[in-house]
Amino acid sequence: MTFSGRSAVVVDDEPLICSIVAEILRSEGWDVSEASDALSAITAIKSTAAELVVADIDLGMGPTGIDVVQRARAEKPDIGVVFITNLADPRITGKGWNAIPADASYIVKTEINSTTALREAVTAALDGRSIATRPVPVAPSTEKLTNSQIAVLTLISDGLSNEEIAEARGSTVRAVERMLARMMSAANIKPGASSRVQLARLYWDQLNGR
């Protein structure tokens, strides 16, 4: 497959990663626009004849790479999608699994300097077939958690108390306590003084693909 003269948008809030991916694509003949945030990426997609978007799922504060892809598909339903990520569970970003296009390709960040790995992911994305090259665990620690529990896990990582979580979710403190107990059980965390810290660490570990 030849990529000469075709347009792509790469979005990643880490400049080095963004530039590495962009340079590899350019070496393959792509005309590449680089973006460091969701808004810039969406603008680039709208203003170019982009046939491919390569997006980091976690773009820091604000919209995610999943948001970028959803907007891109709204504008251009056939645009190819490649995610650069180490995330084991996209719900950590506030998005569910159903927000990930079934034909999206994935490439782990530690392999982005591989022309072969990126080419395979791009080719699969343009062919409409999924290819996963992420070394994610078969059963990540968050897999047994419900969407509501994932939302609470996010609030815990933000440092909210049980009372503040209950208020934010329109729930009761007792309900929050029961949910935390179920979360600790699902994540194999023993109840104790450090259990909330361990839950917060679980959030950040999953967010960073550990």
Per residue in 149-175, pLDDT tens? Answer: 777 777 887 788 889 989 988 889 998
Task: Read off the pLDDT of residues 52-76 as tens digits, 9 standing for 90 and up.
Answer: 999 988 787 778 888 899 899 988 9
Residues 6+ apart with CB under 8 A from 135: 108
Tokens at residue 176, please?
A: 């929050």
Domains in the chain and their CATH numbers? 7-127 (3.40.50.2300), 147-207 (1.10.10.10)
Residue 133 pLDDT > 70, yes or no? no
- CA–CA dist 210, 55 (Å, integer): 19
Indicate the residue type of 155.
L
Tokens at residue 159, please?
A: 């440092």
Residue 127's pLDDT is 85
Residue 189 pLDDT > 90, yes or no? no
φ and ψ at residue 34, rounded to 5 degrees:
-105, 145
Q: How many beta carbons lie within 10 A of that of residue 68, not counting itself?
A: 27
Indicate the residue type of 132.
A
Residue 203 pLDDT > 80, yes or no? no
Please report which confidence band the pLDDT of residue 106 belongs to, taking 50, 70 and 90 as the band edges: confident
Of 85, 35, 29, 115, whose CA–CA distance to 207 is shortest? 85
| Residue 55 contacts residue 115 (beta carbons within 8 Å) | no
- CA–CA dist 31, 85 (Å, integer): 23
